[in-house]
Amino acid sequence: MKINLGNGAVFLWNPGILQSAIDKAFKEVVQGLNNEFKEVIKDKNAFENFPGQDIIDTGELLKNQKLNITKPGEANYEWGTDYALYVHEGYTLRNGKRQMGRPWTQVAIRRYRPGLKFALAVAKNLVKNN
Provide the b/e sequence for 65-98 (b: ≥16 CB within 10 Å): beeeeeeeeebeeebebeebeebbeeeeeeeeee
**Cα–Cα dist 38/103, whole Å:** 12
Q: Using an 8 Å Cβ cutoff, are 87 and 60 in contact?
A: no
Q: Using an 8 Å Cβ cutoff, are 66 and 80 in contact?
A: yes
The confidence score (pLDDT) of residue 59 equals: 87
Nearest Cα residue to 85 out of 66, 112, 105: 105
State pTM to two decimals.
0.83
The confidence score (pLDDT) of residue 96 equals: 95
Q: What is the mean pLDDT of the segment spanning 13-26?
A: 89
* Of 4-8, 58-62, 71-75, the least confident: 4-8
114-127 pLDDT, tens digit each: 999 999 999 999 88
- Whole-Å CA distances, 23 to 29, 65, 82: 10, 23, 33
60 against 49, higher pLDDT: 60
